[in-house]
Structure formats: structure tokens, C-alpha cells
Amino acid sequence: MKKLLFSFVFLLTISFTTLAQTVRYVDNNTGAPNSAGLNYSTIQAAVDASSAGDIIYVQPSPNNYGNISMNKTLHIYGIGHNPVLNAGQYAIFNDIHFLASAASSTISGLNVRDFYLHYTAGNNDGILISNNRIRQAVRGNNSTGYSADIVVSGNYFQNNSHYHINNVNSQNWIISNNTFERSSTGSNSYIFYRLNNTTVLNNNIILTRQNGDGNQSINIFNACSGTQISNNIFIFTGNSVSNMNLGGNSALTFNNNLTYSVTTVLDPLGGTNIDDTNPLFTSFSPNNSLNNTTHDYTFQGGSLAINAGSDGNDLGVMNGGFPFNVRGYPTELPYLTDFVIFNNILSEGTDLNINVKANANNN
């Protein structure tokens, strides 16, 4: 008789792979297959063995996978940063460094500390960073000629005081449909740093717990210039906050945003913005984390955020039918909803009876 124990994530073979792509699996759980065939125990070994365009699936684990250095186009997926199954475990990383020739890569469904797009001698344009939990920041390049056309979407950012987006001098970034949560109560704990006039910041939810300074001001943007800020929802839970005027910024343009203070009265942004108004989410508590799975960021009837965007769609992360999910399921993959082993103790030669259920995600 044998008792079978499973660490299960990617039994499903994803149909969008092509003949030119190799799929590799990384698992650093105790007892996982070690460098057998296409199975690897370290992420860097899988990256080094891959060719441009290959796909890497990373199993959830209590063990940190460490850092990644990428010098080719790869598509790396976890199962989500807050999954239903696997006892809520996810794949956790420290830093992901895009070195040279990693253009058009995808990183999705992971828990990552930092993304660095800082290499100055290779093309890292067109990278998609989506549906991850990001504990610190996505950082750009000192040169305007590298790390352009980056899309940062569907992620959950949370940190006490570290900034979350730093364009540096990178061009044409789209930062959309993310949730940003600032836990620190310090007035000068900014979230966005060095956004420039090519940056698009739209359809995000930004929640800050900062308290105002002596002038009832806090800092969300710092050293930003010429950025168009549209269709976002800003939520303030701190005391003595009337504005977000701190930070040396210039020519920021706010259009079709909604602001809401839970405890104080905010100064109006004016123009096409909706000032100091409850967005009336379908389900939401400002005392909970933004990635709380009871939250539903669609809107109740009567919400002024409905169809209030500059594009005629809703404000916030659900704009235009974007498949935002608080669990961080990768958009490209189906996600598991149930996995049952009916006979995990069996004799040799006996069939293993399993029931697997999954929902299709949007692509």
C-alpha cells in the first residue's frame, strides 16, 4: 500500500503554447522532482535552460525562490498571489532583474519584492507585469532608450513606506487596473516617484492611511512631471488630510478621478473629477486590506463612478471589463477551483481517482 502526497498546481497543459515553446516547471518544495526532464528546483536553472519565448510555471511553496536574472524573452507564471487552493500558498520571490534582450516577457501570478528594468545595454521594451503582489516597486531605466512600453496591470502593491512605481527615465509606461495600498501613517510616504509626461496612470485604486502634516497635506506623488492621471479612485483613511499637495511635482493633470476621505473633508480637485464622494463599491471595508477577498470593486447602483471615466467606462480597476481579480490569477491561464483525491492510499497498479475543476480566465 502506498500513500500519495501531492503538491499540485499545473496539471493542466495550457492550450496557447506553440510547437516553438518549451514549458518548464519549477518546484522547490521538499521532495519535489529535482532537475528531471523539464522539472527544476531553482528558478534560475530553469531560466538558464530556456530559449527565448519559452514558458515557466512556478509551483507555490513556503520557500522563497530568491532572485531571477533574465536575458531573454520568457513567460513566467505562478497560480496567483492569493489563491483559493494550496492552502493559500503562492510562489514568492525577492528581485527580478531584466538584463538584456528580455523584451516582451511576461511575469504573472507571483509574489515579488522588486522588479528592476535597469539594464542599459539591451532591449527590455514591451514587458508585461500583471496580477502579481509587489511588496516594494517596479523600477525603470536611467536611459530614455531602454525599458519602454512597459505595462503594469492587475497587480496589488502594498508596503508601509516604500514607493511602488519609479519610472526613472523610461518612456511610455501604462500603469493601470492596479491596487496600491500605503500602510504608513507618515505624511511624506509617497507612492509614485519620477513619473514623466509619457506615463499613463489610469483606472487604479489608491488607498492610503497617511495622516496629514501641519497643513493637512500628504505626499502621494514625488518628483513627477507632466503625468496624465485619469479614472483612478483615491481613498484616504488617515486623520487631518485635506489634500495630497506634498512632493516636488510639476504639471500633473487630474481628469475623471474620484476622491474619498473616510474621516475628513478633502479639498476639491475640481474640473472633471468627482470630489470627496463614496465610490459605493459592491463590497468594501476601508479597514481591510485592498486584496481582501470579500471586496468587490464593481459598483452599487447610484454610484457616481459608473461610466464616469474619460473613456465612458467605470472608474477604478474594473474599467472596460478588465479581468481584475483580488487573488491575482494570471489572465492567460485557467484557475483551479477544486481538486479532490478520492483514494490517496492505494495498491500498486490501482487507478488514482481525481476530480479537478477549473474556471476559464479571460484572455
Helices assigned H by DSSP within the chain: 43-49
**In whole angstroms, what is the distance from residue 319 CA to residue 285 CA?**
20
CA pseudo-torsion sign 193, 121, 133, 256: positive
> Mean pLDDT across the stretch 208-237?
97
Residues 6+ apart with CB under 8 A from 199: 167, 172, 173, 175, 224, 227, 228
The verdict on residue 353 lying in a domain is no
Q: Grid coordinates representing 115?
A: 522588479
Please state which of the ranges 58-72, 87-101, 110-124 shows the lowest mean pLDDT: 110-124
> Mean pLDDT across the stretch 13-24?
61
Q: How many CB atoms lie within 10 A of CB 11?
A: 11
pLDDT in tens, 20-36: 689 999 999 988 766 55
The verdict on residue 92 lying in a domain is no
pLDDT of residue 342: 53
The verdict on residue 297 lying in a domain is yes
pLDDT in tens, 301-357: 999 999 999 999 999 999 877 889 999 999 766 555 555 565 566 677 777 776 666
pLDDT in tens, 87-116: 889 999 999 999 888 999 999 999 999 999
The verdict on residue 13 lying in a domain is no
Q: How many CB atoms lie within 10 A of CB 302?
A: 7
The verdict on residue 252 lying in a domain is yes
The verdict on residue 322 lying in a domain is yes
Q: Grid coordinates representing 233?
A: 479612485
What residue numbers bound the domain in which 273 lies? 150-331
pTM of the full predicted structure?
Answer: 0.89
Where residue 7 falls among pLDDT bands split at 50, 70, 90?
Answer: very low
The verdict on residue 269 lying in a domain is yes
**Mean pLDDT in the chain?**
88
Cα dist from 69 to 61, 113, 117, 265, whole Å: 20, 14, 11, 47
The verdict on residue 327 lying in a domain is yes
Percent of the chain with pLDDT over 90: 76
Q: Is the pLDDT of residue 52 over 80?
A: yes
Where residue 222 falls among pLDDT bands split at 50, 70, 90?
Answer: very high
Question: What total of structural domains would you count in the chain?
Answer: 1
